[in-house]
Structure 1
Amino acid sequence: MEYIQKLSLMLALLCAHSPSLSAGTLHKLVKNNKIDEVMDFLNKNKDKKKEIINAKNSDGKTPLYQASSKNRVEITKLLLENGADVNIMNNYGETPLYLASSKGYLNIVKLLLEKSANPNIANKYKETPLYLACSNNLIEITELLLEKGANPNIHNENGWTPLYWACCNYKLDIVKLLLKKDTDVNIADNNGETPLYQACYFGYLDIVELLLKKGANVNLANKNKETPLYPACSKGYVDIAKLLIKHGADVNISNKNKETTLHWAYSKGYKDIIELLLKNGANVNSADKKTLLYWACFHGYKDIATLLLNGGANVNITNKNGETLLYLACYSHKLDTAKLLIKRGANVNISNTHGCTLLYQACRDYKLDTVNLLLKSDADVNIADNDGLTPLYCACYLGYADIVKLLLEKGANPTLKSNKGKSPLSLICSQKWTIEQRETLLTSLIPTKPNLSQNAKDFIELAITTLAKQMQNNPTIAPKVPQNNDLRESKAVDNPKQEIACIEDFVRILLFTFTPDKMALYTWPKNFFQLNEDEIKNSTCFNLSLSQFMPRYLRLAQLSKEQFNFFKKLLKFEQADAITDKQTCNKKDGVRTPPFDIHINFHKEADPRENTGFSFLNGLNEKELNAFQNSTLLI
């Protein structure tokens, strides 16, 4: 015990002669909140009190800083009464007021301010106590600091003022407090962005209103030369944009990339913003009117397109691919916009760099509504692309029978050939066309008898002459083909109505029978030659004028044995079950004759030229008959 007392005495003597040891003792007592010991210690060291009370530890903190950081109100008061310096900073430039303000220690802040603590001393990051209080949304401390002279316009190393930070983080009450003082609302950060710019960027309408009432400049631009209207338009904040424009925002200021607010709005697709800017005088030319118009037409923004066109935009401008505004509207199936463009003078016949017209592309993409619109707008149905392909050729190639019908009705020329010499007829006769599609086309070719449309007549004439030319390629059969290539013998029909009916039957056979390698006769829904006699008897598919047609036009088909046997079935009398292969069909057998005067010998070995009713075969000799039966006629 005696040893301990001696040791304590020695330490006291050392402290009395060493300020640093005394300061360390005071720091320890303050940290442990030993208020009585602190008081005794200060009384015992009155002669060195000023030096000891403001001494820093290794972090540069004074006893007052320690007390303030721990919210030790009584010890803080004691230290202040004994002369503690309120403005001494630690190694980071932080004063006791800075720390107390950041932590919300209101009573400590009051004590420090009463002792004339400077509220504008900033730390090494240039942040003041007011900045910290605002950033932590400490309303009372913020108000107190402002009352004691805190400068709201001091900014940190990023250029952020307390108001700037409050606007970024939607601290509305803090904003209101700051605006009650002489806060400069136009101080910009290091990027040139003001509190108003940030409020617009984040969409804080009420803060924007407060700033504008306090005189915020709506046209101050950042380093990219972008005003607050830019982020408002870029983010789609139409109410903020309206407010800015109401307060004089320039809608035609360009940034360093020569982009206007209009450019930013349409690049993000904000229709309401675009309409607002245009109605308030936005210059479409400064925002790349061409691009803007393309955008409006592609998305079908008819009102915007109207505004742009009213501003003098060219309705027929094209892009690098030769695509017009009307093309974009049709491509995206925005037909209301397409109608507007056509009404405003859009050329429906402009071709792109590949020579494709709008009609060609609509036919290719099977956009029936668009095809109808273009045809009603007098689109030229016969303009071919760079490969010589017309809309009709395209529709035939893809098997779009309904579009083929529309094109033919509007005057499409079926005789026009591609650069490779192919016509639409050659495509219709290909395997790509189903039976149903050919049926649809047939109906379009023969809409009403006898008033055959001119295009239908042309199409039929082409079919007949093409087949005739194919027959002429066979040296054996060629002499039997009329010199004019007209396979229809006018003497075989009594009047034009009969001729048209005969043509219809021919076209029906033509459209339903061709395959790429041979002319095989087919019908729907089964192979033409697979039907049994009952199916033939009950079918509505064979409504042919056989007495006028078959004997003369069957020459267009290659009569295989299967085909010949089928026609024996087809031409049997209705009571087919009473007939055998070796019977001859005639009235003597008690079987009713069909409504046409044709008789067929059913003997398997029979010469098809004998008693068939196919009179054209009677003119062929054995060699010619074999040549005909073995020939393949292609289109």
Structure 2
Amino acid sequence: MKYIQKLSLVLTLLCTYAPSLSASTLHKLVKKNEIEKVKDFLKNNREKEIINAQNSYGKTPLYQACSKNYKDIVKLLLENGANPNIPNKDKETPLYWACAKGYLEIVKLLLEKGANPNIANKDKETPLYLTCSNNFIEITRLLLENGAKVNILNKNGWTSLYWACCNYKLDIVKLLLEKDADVNIANKNRETPLYPACYLGYLDIVELLLKKGAKVNIPGPNGWPPLYWACAQDYEDIVKLLLKKGADVNITGPNGWTPLYWACSKYYLDIVKLLLKKGADVNITGPNGWTPLYWACSMDYVDIVELLLKKGADVNITGPNGWTTLYLACYWRQLEIIKLLLENGANPTLKPNNNESPLSLICSQKWTIEQREKLLMSLVPTETNLSQNAKNFIKLVITTLAKQMQNNSTQAPKVPQNNGLRVFKVAVKNPEQEITCIEDFVRILLFTFTPDKMALYTWPKNFFQLNENEIKNSTCFNLSLSQLMPRYLRIAQLSKEQLNIFQKLLTFGQAGAITDKQTCNKKDGVRTPPFDIHINFHRDCLRLGRKEADPQKNTGFSFLDGLNEKELNAFQNSTLLI
């Protein structure tokens, strides 16, 4: 009786564990690629439980054969009913692994036997995702032909298209787009496929995505759009494409930086030009209130500063601690930028929070006499064809002023009259007048402020004409240049029409249209017509200085009443000598 019980127990155990033992045998045979033994085994063990049995890792014999690229065994197992869609513990199917390894023939076999191309693993990655990331073009095409979905997202929200764009798989991108892959699906970081293509500089992929309707203004991580990164990385051609497709040239990131701000900070000159051409706002403030101009000045980017000023950048805007761009340039002794800023209306009287003016910096120990001298030489307008004596004279005057400016930031310095300048008495016709003229210019430029950006720089180019005396004042119009200059500057805020009147008056007077000094006086107590012309000419200039001239009412031209036809024509044809 006991023997029978034991035998029964053994038979029960054999029946229970026989399939498991058989499956284990099959796994071993497959692993060793014993094709003939596998055939023999399958002749005697056709149960599906054995063929599809999983080991401790959840792998079936078919999975093992696919992972090892044992094509013949894969074919044999499939013919004997192996299920191609059983995943392992990581939810990876035999097709997934074959795609990961690029085993094209095995992929074909699996798909022919009904393998599902859309089963995802634990990270929600499908076989298509793997073939796209590994650039397996033929397998990708096979999957797409067999119903692989192109817009499935992995756990990070990445599509196959996104991954192909990240890794510059151009042909894969084309395949996916042909199957209507969505170009605007964003991942968890709000990145669309266009974002990495722009960030990494993949121009041809950017072109493909834009043709398929990729949106250019979707903000990515931290709110930065594709244009932002293309500018930051100096990808000029990509910037052109994005702007052509309507990218917002003034879009800002969370830190307040615009594409223009980025381009200026990195000295990407060509991109700056592109953005300005598309209407980039030059006065949008970024971090700490810095504008693109402020940043360009801080980095001494002269070319960019010039571009921004031409586009109307606010030259007097303040940054951190109330610093203006002029103060900043003076602090860093950036001579070219100082000149540009002053030419474009920088106010030298504006002071930052420390109550220190830009001029006080120039006059401080931070500036050497040589630096001041170089700055003044660049600011004072002179003719290039002056005689060497005249040039030496100007240099000596400016050197003296540069020395006098040391620790003197409250009033314009004066050049002593009885010093070494006397050696120029013969070489320079009116040295005292020219000294005064230069002093006045420096005073107006650095110690005061004129609201008209171009007032100083629309002065006739023959500003000094030392020695040559090419400015030919009429015999009736004897105001010196140093007298004319302050008067001219007082009309800085004239309207365009009034300024045009003044320019014609000034040019007419300089051209010597009113002649014959003798007739400009009273004769026997009676005023002559030329005398009236002379009086009215000065009156018109003064009226303009008080802004009383009105071109609509024809006021400002009273001196014309005494001119003959020839003189009237001379006035009409006069132009400002710029």
Q: TM-score w.r.t. structure 2 length?
A: 0.62
CA spacing shift, 1:331–1:90, aligned 2, 3 Å: same
Q: What is residue 608 of structure 1 aligned with on the other side? A: none
How far the C-alpha of 1:251 sits from its partner, in A, is 1.4
Q: What is residue 128 of structure 1 aligned with on the other side? A: 126
How far the C-alpha of 1:75 sits from its partner, in A, is 1.1
Q: Using the alignment, how far apart are the partners of 2:52 and 2:368 within structure 1?
A: 89
Q: Using the alignment, how far apart are the partners of 2:98 and 2:51 within structure 1?
A: 19
Check the 8 A contact 1:205/1:239 in 2, yes or no.
yes
Q: What is residue 342 of structure 1 aligned with on the other side? A: 342
CA spacing shift, 1:453–1:109, aligned 2, 3 Å: closer
CA spacing shift, 1:278–1:411, aligned 2, 3 Å: closer
CA spacing shift, 1:176–1:409, aligned 2, 3 Å: same
Q: Using the alignment, how far apart are the partners of 1:134 and 1:408 within structure 2?
A: 71
How far the C-alpha of 1:300 sits from its partner, in A, is 5.1
1:29-48 correspondence to structure 2 within 5 Å = 29-46=29-46
CA spacing shift, 1:133–1:58, aligned 2, 3 Å: same
Check the 8 A contact 1:405/1:445 in 2, yes or no.
yes
CA spacing shift, 1:219–1:364, aligned 2, 3 Å: same
Check the 8 A contact 2:326/2:358 in 1, yes or no.
no
CA spacing shift, 1:60–1:265, aligned 2, 3 Å: same
Correspondence 1:372 to 2:370: no
1:587-598 correspondence to structure 2 within 5 Å = none
Q: How many residues align?
A: 405
How far the C-alpha of 1:253 sits from its partner, in A, is 2.1
Q: What is residue 247 of structure 2 aligned with on the other side? A: 249
Task: Identify which of structures 1 and 2 has the higher relative contact order when contacts are C-alpha pairs closer than 8 Å and 6+ apart.
Answer: 2
Letter in 2 for 1:67: A
Correspondence 1:101 to 2:103: no
Where structure 2 has 5 or more consecutive residues not aligned to the other structure, the ranges are: 1-9, 383-392, 434-578
How far the C-alpha of 1:58 sits from its partner, in A, is 0.6
Letter in 1 for 2:397: L
Letter in 1 for 2:368: R
Q: Using the alignment, how far apart are the partners of 2:402 and 2:261 within structure 1?
A: 44
Q: What is residue 68 of structure 1 aligned with on the other side? A: 66
Correspondence 1:78 to 2:69: no
Q: What is residue 240 of structure 1 aligned with on the other side? A: 238
Check the 8 A contact 1:197/1:227 in 2, yes or no.
yes
Q: TM-score w.r.t. structure 1 length?
A: 0.57
1:502-541 correspondence to structure 2 within 5 Å = none
Q: What is residue 354 of structure 1 aligned with on the other side? A: 356
CA spacing shift, 1:251–1:79, aligned 2, 3 Å: same
Calculate the aligned-residue CA RMSD, in Å. 4.0
1:470-485 correspondence to structure 2 within 5 Å = none
Letter in 2 for 1:370: L
How far the C-alpha of 1:354 sits from its partner, in A, is 3.0
Q: What is residue 460 of structure 2 aligned with on the other side? A: none
Where structure 1 has 5 or more consecutive residues not aligned to the other structure, the ranges are: 1-9, 378-401, 426-440, 456-635
Q: Using the alignment, how far apart are the partners of 2:407 and 2:85 within structure 1?
A: 96
Letter in 2 for 1:246: K
| Secondary structure at 2:291 match in 1 | helix
**Aligned pair partner of 2:209 in 208, 211, 215:** 211
Q: Using the alignment, how far apart are the partners of 1:442 and 1:411 within structure 2?
A: 18
How far the C-alpha of 1:313 sits from its partner, in A, is 3.4
How far the C-alpha of 1:323 sits from its partner, in A, is 4.7
State the identity as a percent.
58
Letter in 1 for 2:171: D
Q: Using the alignment, how far apart are the partners of 2:90 and 2:53 within structure 1?
A: 16
Q: Using the alignment, how far apart are the partners of 1:163 and 1:91 within structure 2?
A: 27
Deviates further, 217-226 or 322-331: 322-331
Q: What is residue 460 of structure 1 aligned with on the other side? A: none
How far the C-alpha of 1:453 sits from its partner, in A, is 7.8
Check the 8 A contact 2:369/2:399 in 1, yes or no.
no
Q: Using the alignment, how far apart are the partners of 1:65 and 1:345 within structure 2?
A: 77
| Secondary structure at 2:157 match in 1 | coil
Q: Using the alignment, how far apart are the partners of 1:274 and 1:417 within structure 2?
A: 39
Q: What is residue 153 of structure 1 aligned with on the other side? A: 151
Q: What is residue 26 of structure 1 aligned with on the other side? A: 26
Q: Using the alignment, how far apart are the partners of 1:18 and 1:127 within structure 2?
A: 36
Deviates further, 333-342 or 185-194: 333-342
How far the C-alpha of 1:125 sits from its partner, in A, is 1.0
How far the C-alpha of 1:20 sits from its partner, in A, is 0.8
Q: Using the alignment, how far apart are the partners of 1:32 and 1:412 within structure 2?
A: 94
CA spacing shift, 1:277–1:213, aligned 2, 3 Å: same
**Aligned pair partner of 1:51 in 33, 49, 52:** 49
How far the C-alpha of 1:244 sits from its partner, in A, is 0.4
CA spacing shift, 1:245–1:404, aligned 2, 3 Å: closer
Q: What is residue 406 of structure 1 aligned with on the other side? A: 397
1:244-292 alpha-carbon deviations (Å, 9 max, x no partner): 0101111122223333222332233322222222221222333448531
Check the 8 A contact 2:30/2:64 in 1, yes or no.
yes
Q: Using the alignment, how far apart are the partners of 1:273 and 1:163 within structure 2?
A: 29
How far the C-alpha of 1:306 sits from its partner, in A, is 4.7
Check the 8 A contact 1:101/1:133 in 2, yes or no.
yes
Check the 8 A contact 2:51/2:81 in 1, yes or no.
yes
Rg larger for: 1
How far the C-alpha of 1:231 sits from its partner, in A, is 0.8
1:182-331 correspondence to structure 2 within 5 Å = 182-288=180-286, 291-299=291-299, 301=301, 304-320=304-320, 323-329=323-329
Q: Using the alignment, how far apart are the partners of 1:417 and 1:129 within structure 2?
A: 77
Letter in 2 for 1:364: T
**Aligned pair partner of 2:90 in 89, 92, 97:** 92
Q: Using the alignment, how far apart are the partners of 2:184 and 2:369 within structure 1?
A: 56
How far the C-alpha of 1:319 sits from its partner, in A, is 4.2
1:116-136 alpha-carbon deviations (Å, 9 max, x no partner): 100111111111111111111
Correspondence 1:164 to 2:162: yes
